[in-house]
Amino acid sequence: MAKKKMLNAGAGSTVTKRIQPLMTSQEWEEVRLDVDGGVNPDVVGSITDLSRLFPLASFDAIWCSHVMEHLYAHEIHPTFVQFREVLKPDGFALIMSPDLEAVAQHMLIHGLGAVAYVSPAGPIRPLDMIYGHSGAIEQGRHHMAHKTGFSSERMGNLLLSAGFPTVSVRSGNFEVCALALMPEAEDERIRPQLEACGFDFRETVTAAP
């Protein structure tokens, strides 16, 4: 049986531990895409060029963790449209970005320079979540700068406007996480798989008929 293909859109250099329970099931094959050839992706390119890089309906899933905020605001909608175009009719996209509403609350209480949490890249402060990780940018990785931001509402509305019929959004730990389903996606099969990875979606919004 052929493996399902998951596009890791903006793979970076770190291991995707959060999705590993799914990827190690022998059911999935990962295709790593990144704009930085130095992280040895399978394909070098931008997530804004998916329709040029891959045939239509190429993937069963897209995993996009903390990448969309590196685009300009006007690039988000056309990129989400391309997500939909390269997914199969029964596919899904799982997308994560900093939650600017939670970041703002933390900043107002603790200050701009207070550590919010510690990541594999080191301590993360509101300044890093708003503008991009300062350490990476200081090293010359200017593509790591943040150029836009998201709340749960904005992320959900942008995915719906891109043509995904069903979008579920959750927020926690300074992060917005969205599950966008294609028209023929089997919700009852996909959600348990993602729950095993720690993604439990409660709030669902559906496009108007």
**The CATH number of the domain where 72 resides is what?**
3.40.50.150
pLDDT at position 165, please?
94
133 within some domain:
no
| Contact call for residues 188 and 167 (beta carbons, < 8 A) | no
Of 79 and 191, the structure prediction assigns the larger pLDDT to 79
| Contact call for residues 190 and 148 (beta carbons, < 8 A) | no
105 within some domain:
no
pLDDT at position 1, please?
66
| pLDDT exceeds 60 at position 207 | no
Stretch 18-45: mean pLDDT, rounded? 87
Alpha-carbon distance 125 to 171, whole Å? 18
> Which range, of 81-90, 137-146, 168-177, 185-194, averages the lowest pLDDT?
137-146
What's the angle, vertex CA 151, arms to CA 74 and CA 83, rounded to 5? 50
Tell how strand 175-181 and strand 87-98 pair up. antiparallel
pLDDT at position 23, please?
73
128 within some domain:
no
| pLDDT exceeds 50 at position 209 | no
Domain count, the chain: 1
77 within some domain:
yes
122 within some domain:
no
3-state secondary structure at position 125? coil
pLDDT above 70 covers what percent of the chain? 94
**Helices vs. strands in the chain: H and E counts, helices first:** 8, 10
Host domain of residue 64: 4-97+150-206
Smallest CA-to-CA distance from 180 within 102, 99, 63 is with 63
3-state secondary structure at position 77? helix
60 within some domain:
yes
Give per-residue pLDDT as tens, 111-168.
988 998 888 778 889 888 999 888 878 888 788 899 999 999 999 999 999 999 999 9
| Contact call for residues 169 and 155 (beta carbons, < 8 A) | yes
188 within some domain:
yes
34 within some domain:
yes
On the CB side of 155, CA atoms within 13 Å amount to: 31
Stretch 15-20: mean pLDDT, rounded? 73
pLDDT at position 97, please?
95
